[in-house]
Amino acid sequence: MSDATQAALVKESTAEVSTSNEDPNVTPSNTSGANTPDPNSKSAAKKKAKQLEKEAKLAAKALKQAAGANSAPKKVKAEKKKEEAEPEFVNDTPAGQKKDLSNPMAAGYNPIAVEASWYDWWVAEGFFKPKVGADGNPETETFVIPSPPPNVTGSLHIGHGLTVAIQDSLVRWNRMRGKSTLFVPGFDHAGISTQSVVEKRLWKNEGKTRRDLGREKFLGTVMDWKNEYQERITKQLHRLGGSYDWDRAVIETFCRLREDGIIYRANRLVNWCVKLNTTLSNLEVDQKQLTGRTLLNVPGYDAKERFEFGVITSFGYQIEGSDEKVVIATTRPETMLGDTAIAVHPDDPRYTHLHGKFAVHPFVDRRIPIIQDSIIVDMEFGTGAVKITPAHDPNDYEVGTRHKLDFINILNDDGTLNANAGEKFKGMKRFHARNEVVKQLKELGLFVETKDNPMQIPICSKSGDVIEPILKPQWWVNCKPLADKALEHTRKGEILIQPKQSENEWYRWLENIQDWCVSRQLWWGHRVPAYFVNIEGEEQEADDDKFWVVGLWPFSIMGWPDKTPDFKNFYPSSLLETGWDILFFWVARMVMLGVHLTGEVPFKEIYCHAMIRDAHGRKMSKSLGNVIDPIDVIQGLPLEELHKKLYEGNLDEKEIKKAEAGQKKDFPKGIPQCGTDALRFALCAYSGGGRDINLEILRVEGYRKFCNKIFNATKFAMLKLDETFVPEPLAKPTGNEGLVEKWIFHKLNIAATELNQALEERNFMTATNIAYNFWLYELCDVYIEAMKPMTDGSAPESVKKSAQQTLYTCLDAGLKLLHPFMPFVTEELWQRLRRRPRRLHAFNRRSFEFAEAEKQFDLVFSALKTGRSLAASYNLQSEIQFFIQVQNDADAALFEQAVPTIVTLTKGGKSAKVVRNISEVPEGCGSAVVTASIVVHTLVKGLVDLDSKVVKVESQADYLNTVPENVRLANEEKRNVLSAEIETLEQSKAMFEKLK
């Protein structure tokens, strides 16, 4: 890095003076009278002699120190002076106004100071609005992203940070390319999720349920929550730099779908969550895998109660009028109270005699018919007899429909058993009833056995409750015709799905889609606009169902169903970017509804980003303490404050202690302050198309150091662009550029071209690496260093001006390369640059192509790196002298003009000389081969241990014989280089032998 930057990192030292004059090896004499040894004994005399000798040495030492004090200043140990802490940043820029940058740049990069004020100014200036003409139509090609609206269930987490980083990088990149961009934000009321978290908080803080408050008061409580977290989320999106146009809203529809026959009312099995008292879609249900008998606690029961899952219970049904029993098995014994049939295979000879017979229910007055069904029954499995409970099992529901069985619901909405379960069990909670049914079967002698049974149990993703299939009249969406249309448009290539794995899953899911239940028995959310509907000739009052309208998002935000200018100009959207985990939960439904309601796909591309996990690969979980608020990464947070935030949620004390332990392990010193730019850059750098990201906060902190590098490099470069500097009107080479200038222009052009290509391909990892490498390894490490002698006082004015123009162009373009990922620091630094008359974006230009210059400078740089490695191998740190031996005029001319660059880019470099013959190389040089025709020598005579170097050379001299034959045959050029190196090493060996 630059001299100025290095100097800024040096701390002053002050003297450290010891205040003790005591010898640490001297111990006080024993003055106690106890256990005093005999002073005349032999041992005492010996001890006394040693003590006198020691005292004499101390006296001599004291005299020597006294003499030294009079003749020379005393050397003291240097003490590093503590850096004075910079005053805390105070933002005095009025909201919406442009930051005043007239003051000198700060001593170092402070992300809080750098990021302040810019967002409000961007919004106030209308930079985030699409460019439209006087007629309201876009002036240029459009690029539109409808951002997936986050739920107002809580603050954004780091996964949302990834979404914003990727989406906004694409939006800013396309805006810089001159497109008319529209980035639409929003918020999801998240009916079931929001009501769930508010109910949990209400119970935790006040011990009350929503019914204790009543509908209106509870809705007011949820509205307060929604307003609080919507404001929090808005602030988070601002801090993350999302360049949204906030002037869009959501409207919904229901009636048209009803009229088209897409939405229908039906009494069908639904997923019922007792805890939340509502239906759920299949995608809101998780499947918990059990390997065998497992005891679980269930929400709504005492915390100490455990119920048995992962077993299969066998019992016998008594055949009517006979002593015979038919043995069946079930994983849910309580559901036998709703059994309305026993199914056997029609071809099973074991049960032929029972065709048309009945079994007797042991607990209710009900005859159970023996039916024949070849679909549900596998003769080879179990006893070949299956209990049928049509109102509480999806497979049994189909059997009941085929055989016109009775559908008997035995559950109330609160999870207790109703009168259909019989007087013995009426009012009993479902899992208490499970235990009681088994107990009663044993007493009646009908119980057979219980065995381990690996299985899955359905769990509510919101409450953790065990889901119950229940028969209810609900609103449904007929998905098959919608899915067929979506598949048709996808196969036509109207939607691009990335990565490929997500596309395969898309087809698989849509081809096997089931109808979608849109009803929710909630108080919070969108009410179904159907209060009295006619079902089969009977007028009935609709329940408190809710309709999931998020699927209407991409077109409702454009003013649909009205043909608004926004709908005409910005629909369909360009891209829908989201996590792969909600591809079906949300994205597929947007496509299905979009095609049906608008006749077009809602967006032309779907990009699915990875799921963020912690550094250990674990899923983010509040109970593990690894859920990260992006604002905490931006501004840093001590461990104690991290612990405090755990109490804001709904975790119980046991979970909080577990989470605190997790936080202490992962963040022993808290989360360091990284800033928005470093966070965004890191999240994009992680995004290479995989399914998961294991996030390391230390890596984010590393990119904060990269921001510091950019800041300090620009600060140093600004010193080179003095007050007299005026940039050329056009960003193009002047024709006066030297080799290193042409090289950096060519590297800039390559970086811009490849970064564009990477973003076109949605490869954010590659794009960030390109920008990072250009800044760090090409602009900072090479050009900014190489230009120093070109801009010092001895340089010709024409050389200085050319170097300045090149530096300005690289800074201007380099900041633009980074801007999509790092909007704040690049804005702060770019605003300090002088302006060209026109704003031109640094993307691929033929005028910056210098392929031959790149090839030449790469050869120079290869020789430079070889020389630096050679000097390092001899531990040379100063007075380094290179002798570059070449064999042709072209190489000689090339290296002659590159001598200043080679010396400048060599730390401790003194000189470099181009020679044609080995005789021009002084004795006492170490040597290294660059190519078959170029060798670098460095003077080491008198500076190194020659004996050890002879041994080292001898160990390398037989290198040709150690290289595998297939490698040597495959690469003729490499073999020539190795041969030349052996010859050089042999010469070095002879030379060192002469010097011994």
Q: What is the pLDDT of residues 767-824, one digit of tens each?
A: 999 999 999 999 999 999 999 999 888 889 999 999 999 999 999 999 999 999 999 9
Q: What are the residues whose beta carbons fall under 8 Å from the beta carbon of 397, sequence distance 6 or more?
A: 268, 269, 390, 391, 407, 469, 471
Which among 813, 775, 767 has a CA at the least distance from the CA of 166? 767
**Sign of torsion, CA 776 778 784 789?**
positive
Look up residue 66 and give its amino acid. A
Q: What are the residues whose beta carbons fall under 8 Å from the beta carbon of 835, sequence distance 6 or more?
A: 727
Provide the H-helix boundaries in 785-917.
785-786, 797-818, 823-830, 851-873, 889-904
Assigned domain for 925 exists: yes
Task: Pick the last residue of a domain from 453, 487, 502.
Answer: 453
pLDDT score recorded for residue 526? 56
Domain count, the chain: 3
Please, are residues 356 and 350 in contact by the beta-carbon 8 Å criterion? Answer: no
Do 838 and 878 share a domain, yes or no? no
Q: How many C-beta neighbours within 10 Å does residue 701 have?
A: 19
For 888, phi then psi, to 5°, come to -140, 165
Q: Cα(112)–Cα(107) distance, rounded to whole angstroms?
A: 14
Look up residue 955 and give its amino acid. S
* Residue 355's CATH number: 3.90.740.10
What letter would DSSP give residue 759? Answer: H
The Cα-based distances of 825 to 707, 763, 765, 830, 840 in angstroms read: 7, 23, 20, 8, 19
Do 320 and 379 share a domain, yes or no? yes
* Per-residue pLDDT tens over the stretch 920-962: 999 889 999 999 999 999 998 876 666 666 666 566 555 456 6
Q: Cα(831)–Cα(843) distance, rounded to whole angstroms?
A: 19
pLDDT score recorded for residue 969? 66
Task: Say if strands 307-309 and 294-296 run parallel, antiparallel, or are unpaired.
Answer: antiparallel
Greater pLDDT, 475 or 521: 475
Q: What are the residues whose beta carbons fall under 8 Å from the beta carbon of 116, sequence distance 6 or more?
A: 89, 91, 93, 99
* Per-residue pLDDT tens over the stretch 14-69: 222 222 333 333 333 333 333 334 444 444 444 544 554 455 455 445 444 444 44
Instruction: Give the H or E element holding residue 487.
Output: helix 479-491
Do 882 and 826 share a domain, yes or no? no
Assigned domain for 474 exists: no
Predicted confidence (pLDDT) at residue 853 exceeds the cutoff of 90:
yes
In the 3-class helix/strand/coil scheme, how is 437-457 assigned residue by residue? Answer: HHHHHHHCCCEEEEEECCEEE
For the chain, the farthest-separated pair of C-alpha atoms sits apart, in whole angstroms, at 127
Q: Which residues pair with 79 in a beta bridge?
A: 14
- How many residues comprise the chain? 996
Assigned domain for 231 exists: no
Q: How many C-beta neighbours within 10 Å does residue 519 have?
A: 24
Please, are residues 114 and 675 in contact by the beta-carbon 8 Å criterion? Answer: yes
Q: Cα(680)–Cα(703) distance, rounded to whole angstroms?
A: 9
Greater pLDDT, 613 or 510: 510
pLDDT score recorded for residue 58? 52
Q: Cα(527)–Cα(523) distance, rounded to whole angstroms?
A: 9
Provide the H-helix boundaries in 721-850.
739-760, 764-773, 785-786, 797-818, 823-830
pLDDT score recorded for residue 54? 53
Describe the crossing of helices 676-686 and 823-830 by its angle, rounded to 10 degrees: 130
Assigned domain for 602 exists: no
Q: Cα(207)–Cα(432) distance, rounded to whole angstroms?
A: 24
Predicted confidence (pLDDT) at residue 749 exceeds the cutoff of 70:
yes
Q: What percent of the chain has pLDDT over 90?
A: 51
pLDDT score recorded for residue 18? 27
Which among 936, 933, 915, 937 has a CA at the least distance from the CA of 924? 937
Do 841 and 899 share a domain, yes or no? no
pLDDT score recorded for residue 621? 65
Which among 771, 813, 566 has a CA at the least distance from the CA of 680? 771
Q: What percent of the chain has pLDDT over 70?
A: 82
Assigned domain for 876 exists: yes
Assigned domain for 383 exists: yes
Do 759 and 895 share a domain, yes or no? no
Least-confidence region, from 266-270, 450-454, 651-655, 985-989 = 985-989
Greater pLDDT, 737 or 694: 737
pLDDT score recorded for residue 655? 84
Predicted confidence (pLDDT) at residue 613 exceeds the cutoff of 90:
no
Whether omega before 561 lies within 30 degrees of 0, making that bond cis, reads yes
DSSP string, 914-964: EESSGGGSPSSEEEEEEETTEEEEEE-TTTS-HHHHHHHHHHHHTHHHHS-
- Reported as a pLDDT band with limits 50, 70 and 90, residue 6 is very low
Q: Cα(799)–Cα(764) distance, rounded to whole angstroms?
A: 38
- Reported as a pLDDT band with limits 50, 70 and 90, residue 883 is very high
Look up residue 850 and give its amino acid. F
Do 844 and 874 share a domain, yes or no? no
**Sign of torsion, CA 853 856 857 858?**
positive
Task: Pick the last residue of a domain from 390, 419, 453.
Answer: 453
pTM of the model: 0.77
pLDDT score recorded for residue 179? 94
Do 905 and 942 share a domain, yes or no? yes
The Cα-based distances of 805 to 715, 725, 995 in angstroms read: 16, 9, 50
Task: Say if strands 278-280 and 180-184 run parallel, antiparallel, or are unpaired.
Answer: unpaired
Q: Cα(719)–Cα(4) distance, rounded to whole angstroms?
A: 10
Do 705 and 800 share a domain, yes or no? yes
Assigned domain for 757 exists: yes
Q: Cα(147)–Cα(186) distance, rounded to whole angstroms?
A: 7
What letter would DSSP give residue 586? Answer: I
pLDDT score recorded for residue 625? 61
Assigned domain for 171 exists: no
Tell me the three state secondary structure of residue 308.
strand
Do 837 and 897 share a domain, yes or no? no
* Per-residue pLDDT tens over the stretch 518-573: 777 777 765 555 443 444 444 443 444 444 566 777 888 888 888 889 999 999 99
Greater pLDDT, 245 or 39: 245
Predicted confidence (pLDDT) at residue 909 exceeds the cutoff of 80:
yes
* Residue 803's CATH number: 1.10.730.10
Please, are residues 242 and 168 in contact by the beta-carbon 8 Å criterion? Answer: yes
* Per-residue pLDDT tens over the stretch 117-145: 999 999 999 999 999 888 889 989 999 99
The pLDDT mean for the chain works out to 83
Predicted confidence (pLDDT) at residue 467 exceeds the cutoff of 80:
yes
pLDDT score recorded for residue 28? 32
Greater pLDDT, 589 or 40: 589
Q: Cα(145)–Cα(574) distance, rounded to whole angstroms?
A: 6
Do 791 and 919 share a domain, yes or no? no
Please, are residues 956 and 870 in contact by the beta-carbon 8 Å criterion? Answer: no
Task: Say if strands 516-517 and 880-885 run parallel, antiparallel, or are unpaired.
Answer: unpaired
- Residue located via tokens 């309601």: 597
What the block records as the tokens of 346 is 């029609």
In the 3-class helix/strand/coil scheme, how is 497-540 assigned residue by residue? Answer: EECHHHHHHHHHHHHCCCCEECCCCCCCCCECCCCEEEECCEEE
Please, are residues 388 and 339 in contact by the beta-carbon 8 Å criterion? Answer: yes
Describe the crossing of helices 851-873 and 739-760 by its angle, rounded to 10 degrees: 100
Do 880 and 968 share a domain, yes or no? yes
Task: Pick the last residue of a domain from 800, 818, 849.
Answer: 849
DSSP string, 43-112: HHHHHHHHHHHHHHHHHHHHHHHHHHHHHSPPP-EEEEPPPPPPPPP---SPTTSPPP--SPPPSS--HH
Predicted confidence (pLDDT) at residue 116 exceeds the cutoff of 50:
yes
Do 877 and 841 share a domain, yes or no? no
Task: Give the range of the structural domain holding residue 933, as residue numbers without chain letter.
Answer: 870-949+961-994
* Per-residue pLDDT tens over the stretch 338-380: 999 999 999 999 999 999 999 999 999 999 999 999 999 999 8
pLDDT score recorded for residue 996? 62
Least-confidence region, from 212-226, 282-296, 671-685 = 212-226
Please, are residues 240 and 164 in contact by the beta-carbon 8 Å criterion? Answer: yes
pLDDT score recorded for residue 74? 39
**Sign of torsion, CA 282 288 294 295?**
negative
